[in-house]
Amino acid sequence: MPQPKLGLITPNELALFLDYYELTSAKTDFDYDNHAVVTQEYFVRRLPFGSYLVATGLEQVIAFIMNLRFEEKDLGWLEATSGPDFRNGFLDYLMNFKFSGDIHAVPEGTIVFPNEPIINVTGPTIEVQILETYLLNVMNFQSLVATKTARMVDIADQRTIVDFGARRAHGRDAAILAARAAYLAGATGTSLVLAGKKWGIPYIGTMPHAFIMNRPTELEAFREYSKSFPHNTILLVDTYDSLEGVRNAIIIGKELRDQGYRLQGIRLDSGDLVPLSFEARKILDKAGFEDVKIFVSSDLDEYRIEEMIREKAPIDGFGVGTRLVTGANFNPITREGGVSALPGVYKLVERIGKDGHAIPKTKLSADKILVPYRKQINRLLDDDSLFNRDVISRWDEPIADAEPILIPIIEQGRLTYNFPTLKESRAYCTQQINRLPKPYRLLSDSPIYPVKLSPKLEQASASLHSE
């Protein structure tokens, strides 16, 4: 009997993580000996929410590029299945494929804005083009989740945000990557143990409703749990009646206290969370449990969290599942949005001609306009070191008093960037958010952060469009 397939991706087959059209165009480039040096850039035209984006995912992109090799057996499979037009010459080329170009990018956790180049890839045409699908997949998803989480963390103002979303994430990898992106953007931890192990981030949990339903009474369930986890008892109080649950939690709190331990918290997972949290706080305080924390969960997002905080609900932490791991962009106030994806693209902007000069590349069809040339983001700060405005320039064009924020990652095929730890990226991301002036951090109706083109790019853009 054939065994059922897990279908997990292994690193050695990852070179095939590309859309077929990248192979067909690569093969044509190969046939016509087209190895001109080009630059493609990753950027996002429109954000699903808010004014800013937290660029995230670079480590998984670079790990892919450094390991990118086509296995002989995979090429054999390709030859056997792709029809008569794939010739051996091209497959031999793929056999020896290795990225030899340059990559410049903003570090993970950097705040960027629409139309800014987040990653520049420069090198021979085939090598640059072939990275597209993987780069977009990883950057679009992690940046979406990091941005979504940053908004929650920002609005939660020191209260904790925990990723609870593994069960609603889009597959196994999405659960792991979402936990990583969320932690980088300031979440306290994740419910998913494997994400904890993979990224060294705190994993957190209480108990399932089934655990309580599986015992004669809620109180007995709480008691058994508190005896098994005296150092870390957080009780889920909403299985039957939430306030009755709080009273049962107090009984356990007293028992723990008698044994020299401490009830850590309670969790509300259904019902009207704001009034319930006020009631729960009152009952706990009256019983002398002022230090017992209240955690809530149940279809939360940044809008719901903002509302609860505006109503001054005595809540210490939020468990966020679906809307965090999917980066859901439905705005319940405006009833707009609805597609949980970041529409980042990877476009050709420059080709080096035979004479060594840069030829601008752009696409003029319909409504999709593209600024040509390999570019740099230059960030200008105000007197308090807050972000004031950005100027997008040509790669070699200096902008006075500005910091260029795309830095070298891979140079001539060699990794020259020392990746920070995830914790370091997390601290950097927090700092970035804090340097963004408050108005740009509003959940809705935030102003557009000023991003201008440099004089050279203005000129290039204008002359192309007047052609």
User: Scanning residues 2 to 41, which ones bind a second copy (CB under 8 A)?
Assistant: 2-11, 13-14, 16-25, 27-29, 31-32, 34, 36, 38, 40
Instruction: Classify the phi-psi angles of 115: left when phi > 0, otherwise alpha if psi is within -120 to 50, otherwise beta.
Output: left
Whether the CB-CB separation of 314 and 279 falls below 8 Å is answered with no
Q: At 163, give phi and psi (nearest 5°).
A: -75, 115
Among 45, 198, 435, 456, binds a second copy (CB under 8 A): 198
Q: How far apart are CA 175 and CA 171, in angstroms?
A: 7
Strand-by-strand arrangement of the 233-236 sheet: 189-190, 160-163, 317-320, 293-297, 263-268, 233-236
* Smaller CB separation from a second copy, 399 or 409: 409
Give me the least distance between CB of 212 and a second copy, in Å please. Answer: 9
Instruction: Classify the phi-psi angles of 33: left when phi > 0, otherwise alpha if psi is within -120 to 50, otherwise beta.
Output: left
Give me the least distance between CB of 158 and a second copy, in Å please. Answer: 23
Burial of 148 (0-12, 13-18, 19+ CB in 10 A): buried
Give me the least distance between CB of 433 and a second copy, in Å please. Answer: 23
Q: How far apart are CA 94 and CA 78, in angstroms?
A: 11
- β 407-411/414-415 pair status: antiparallel
Give me the least distance between CB of 29 and a second copy, in Å please. Answer: 8
Q: How far apart are CA 44 and CA 17, in angstroms?
A: 21
Q: How far apart are CA 420 and CA 109, in angstroms?
A: 11
User: Scanning residues 313 to 332, which ones bind a second copy (CB under 8 A)?
Assistant: 322-323, 325-326, 328-330
Per rule CB under 8 A, count of chain residues that contact a second copy: 136
Q: How far apart are CA 278 and CA 347, in angstroms?
A: 52
Residue 207 binding a second copy, by CB under 8 A: yes
* Smaller CB separation from a second copy, 226 or 378: 226
Q: How far apart are CA 327 and CA 47, in angstroms?
A: 12
Residue 1 binding a second copy, by CB under 8 A: yes
Using CB under 8 A, which of the segments 55-63, 289-297, 391-399, 446-454 binds a second copy? 55-63
Using CB under 8 A, which of the segments 204-212, 381-389, 395-403, 428-436 binds a second copy? 204-212
Give me the least distance between CB of 434 and a second copy, in Å please. Answer: 26
Nearest partner of 405 among 40, 111, 131, 44, judged by Cα: 111
Among 225, 295, 318, 373, binds a second copy (CB under 8 A): 225
User: Scanning residues 63 to 82, which ones bind a second copy (CB under 8 A)?
Assistant: 63-64, 66-67, 74, 77-78, 81-82
What the block records as the tokens of 158 is: 């020191």
* Smaller CB separation from a second copy, 158 or 214: 214
* Smaller CB separation from a second copy, 286 or 363: 363
Give me the least distance between CB of 336 and a second copy, in Å please. Answer: 8
* Smaller CB separation from a second copy, 128 or 315: 128
Among 53, 54, 166, 358, binds a second copy (CB under 8 A): 166
Residue 232 binding a second copy, by CB under 8 A: yes
User: Scanning residues 329 to 388, which ones bind a second copy (CB under 8 A)?
Assistant: 329-330, 335-343, 347-348, 351, 361-368
Whether the CB-CB separation of 165 and 325 falls below 8 Å is answered with yes
Chain-centre distance of CA 285, in angstroms?
A: 38
User: Scanning residues 240 to 269, which ones bind a second copy (CB under 8 A)?
Assistant: 240-242
Among 121, 175, 429, 433, binds a second copy (CB under 8 A): 175
With both helix axes pointing from N to C terminus, report the angle between 218-228 and 242-258 in degrees, rounded to the nearest 10.
Answer: 40
Residue 463 binding a second copy, by CB under 8 A: no
User: Scanning residues 270 to 309, which ones bind a second copy (CB under 8 A)?
Assistant: 270-271
Among 93, 203, 395, 428, binds a second copy (CB under 8 A): 203
Give me the least distance between CB of 378 and a second copy, in Å please. Answer: 26
Give me the least distance between CB of 260 and a second copy, in Å please. Answer: 13
Whether the CB-CB separation of 55 and 118 falls below 8 Å is answered with yes
Give me the least distance between CB of 345 and a second copy, in Å please. Answer: 8
Give me the least distance between CB of 149 and a second copy, in Å please. Answer: 14
Nearest partner of 371 among 463, 250, 268, 238, judged by Cα: 463
Q: How far apart are CA 151 and CA 153, in angstroms?
A: 6
Residue 400 binding a second copy, by CB under 8 A: no
* Smaller CB separation from a second copy, 115 or 270: 270
* Smaller CB separation from a second copy, 229 or 428: 229
Give me the least distance between CB of 448 and a second copy, in Å please. Answer: 23
Is 37 strand, coil or helix? strand
Q: How far apart are CA 292 and CA 284, in angstroms?
A: 7
